Amino acid sequence: EAGVTQFPSHSVIEKGQTVTLRCDPISGHDNLYWYRRVMGKEIKFLLHFVKESKQDESGMPNNRFLAERTGGTYSTLKVQPAELEDSGVYFCASSQTGNSPLHFGNGTRLTVT
C-alpha cells in the first residue's frame, strides 16, 4: 500500500507570505493528524481529523494556521502569514482507527526567512 505522502518536501518562504502544505493519508484511513517539530524542540501535536471533521485542534498554535480536510481524503495546512518561528518540520500521520498505530509521512521542512 502507498504510504502517507506529503507535499512539498521542502518550502522556503519569506516572512509574511502564505504557504500551504498537503498531506495524502493512506487510503481508507479515517484518522489524520498533523504534528510539527520546531528546530531543536519536541515533536508536538497540532490537530486530529476524523474523516472531514476536526476532532481535536487544541495544538494549533494560533489563528495563522488553518487546516482543512474537505471530503475526508487529503488534508491541507495553511500558514498565513508565516512568521520566523513557524520554521520546522511538519509531519502528517494517519491511522485506520483512533487506536491503531500512526503511519507518518516524510514531513515538509518549512523555512521562513
Partner 1 sequence: AQSVAQPEDQVNVAEGNPLTVKCTYSVSGNPYLFWYVQYPNRGLQFLLKYITGDNLVKGSYGFEAEFNKSQTSFHLKKPSALVSDSALYFCAAPRGGYNKLIFGAGTRLAVHP
Map grid coordinates 481524503 to a residue: 73
Which one, of 73, 31, 74, lies nearest residue 54 by Cα? 31
Within positions 66 to 105, which residues make up the interface with partner 1, using CB under 8 A? 91, 93, 95, 98-99, 101-105
Considering beta carbons, is residue 56 or 83 the nearer one to partner 1? 56
- Of positions 42, 62, 63, 71, contacts partner 1 by CB under 8 A: 42
Which one, of 44, 89, 96, 90, lies nearest residue 67 by Cα? 90
4 binds partner 1 (CB under 8 A): yes
- Of positions 44, 73, 80, 84, contacts partner 1 by CB under 8 A: 44
How many residues bind partner 1 (CB under 8 A)? The answer is 26
- Of positions 1, 41, 62, 63, contacts partner 1 by CB under 8 A: 41
Distance CA 49, CA 56 (A): 7
Distance CA 16, CA 11 (A): 14
Judge contact between 8 and 109, C-beta under 8 A: no
Judge contact between 11 and 111, C-beta under 8 A: yes
- Of positions 11, 19, 31, 112, contacts partner 1 by CB under 8 A: 31
The binding site for partner 1 (CB under 8 A) comprises 3-4, 31, 33, 35, 41-45, 48, 55-56, 58, 91, 93, 95, 98-99, 101-107
